[in-house]
Amino acid sequence: MLNPFQTDAFNMVSLTRAINILPNNYGRIRELNLMPGKGVRTRSIIVEEKNGVLNLLPTMPPGSPGTVGTRGRRTVRSFTIPHIPHDDVILPSEYEGIRAFGSETEMETLAGIVNDHLQTMRNKHGITLEHLRMGALKGIILDADGSTLYNLYTEFGIAPKTVGFALTTDTTNVAAKCRTVLRHIDDNLRGEVSTGVRCLCSEGFFDGLIGHKSVKEVFLNHAAAVDRLGGDPRKNFSFGGITFEEYRGTATNPEGASMPFIAGDEAHCYPEGTMSTFETIFAPADFVETANTIGIELYAKQEERKFGRGIDLHSQSNPLPICYRPGVLVKLTKV
């Protein structure tokens, strides 16, 4: 008998195209387009840091030779791109009863079964990528089990910056705290541009912020204006030059415990509108067909089980979200 899964509709190219077209329902960082994707041909990347020296250029008489640029030191670092495979299975019981071949409707039914599985797989990859991106935004990229994949501060030789907002004290000048954050980010952009600063907050930090004596009235005015438009007042609240937003990203770790992406009573600031500070690198899959090709976000492939007892589905992603200037990242604490 013919195996419908051996048709071109279910080959590696078609399944990979399908899993990348399916909607990704997870990821505030993805929605903000903070770390756009870039494909590479290799399983590791080299990051070259050049500490270029910026000098004021003096005026010179016409015809004078130009000033000579000072060459900065170059430091090269290598990063291996994480490999994240995920498998599923389609059992014969899921598609029995549609074995009479030759009908387009039957092929559409099979495609629907495959798409249901691919959507579930994509959702798991989506929340995993959000977790990795949040790690890059915090400066420490963690694996699903909590182990450290990369400490960007260590890699780039930069001390992490933390600002305590003392939100439990009524006399705290929260606006001054915001200026401290803004100045630190400005000093560490090092020639990069930015359109503003956003802060993703845990529930505890956000509640402490909007409940503070010096902030409360401003937030109430913001909430009233947003309410008239039918929006969510927890997003895009601007105070002291920083846009604050409550971030609810969470997932379940391999042990089954809930794992919030931002620790309680903490928040993380970063510059928006940069040109080359944030990126997500995608390496190609470890398939024969994809060797030396440009990597994309997701890959999918299927293979018949032994004795025809089902179809194994394999998906994988090879992402490395990264912040090339971890000096611009600032952690805030409630106390």
Residue 58 lies in a domain: no
Domain region containing 114: 4-47+75-333
pLDDT of residue 52: 42
pLDDT of residue 302: 93
pLDDT of residue 256: 83
Whether pLDDT at 284 is above 50: yes
Q: How does pLDDT run across 243-257, given as a tens digit for each residue?
A: 999 999 999 887 888
Read off the pLDDT of each residue in 236-265 and give the average, rounded to a whole number.
Answer: 93
- Domain with residue 320: its CATH number is 3.90.1690
Q: Which helix (H) or strand (E) holds 125?
A: helix 104-138
Residue 322 lies in a domain: yes
Q: Which helix (H) or strand (E) holds 273?
A: none
Residue 95 lies in a domain: yes
Residue 60 lies in a domain: no
Residue 185 lies in a domain: yes
In terms of average pLDDT, the best of 47-51, 153-157, 174-178, 275-279 is 174-178
Residue 263 lies in a domain: yes
Q: How does pLDDT run across 294-322, given as a tens digit for each residue?
A: 999 999 999 989 988 889 999 999 999 99
**Of residues 95 and 13, more confidently modeled:** 13
Q: How many structural domains is the chain composed of?
A: 1
Cα–Cα distance measured from residue 182 to residue 81, given in angstroms and rounded to the nearest whole number:
32
Residue 67 lies in a domain: no
* CA terminus-to-terminus distance, the chain: 69
In the sheet with 242-246, reading across from the earlier edge strand, the strands are 161-164, 330-333, 266-272, 196-201, 242-246, 237-239
- Read off the tokens for 12: 């590696």
Q: How does pLDDT run across 42-84, given as a tens digit for each residue?
A: 999 988 776 544 445 555 567 667 656 555 566 788 999 999 9
- Read off the tokens for 284: 């190609």
DSSP for 185-234, please give it: HHHHSTT---SEEEEEE-HHHHHHHHTSTTTHHHHHHHHHHHHHHT--TT
Cα–Cα distance measured from residue 1 to residue 105, given in angstroms and rounded to the nearest whole number:
19
Residue 69 lies in a domain: no
Q: How does pLDDT run across 128-151, given as a tens digit for each residue?
A: 999 999 999 999 999 998 999 999
Say if residues 302 and 173 touch (Cβ distance below 8 Å). no
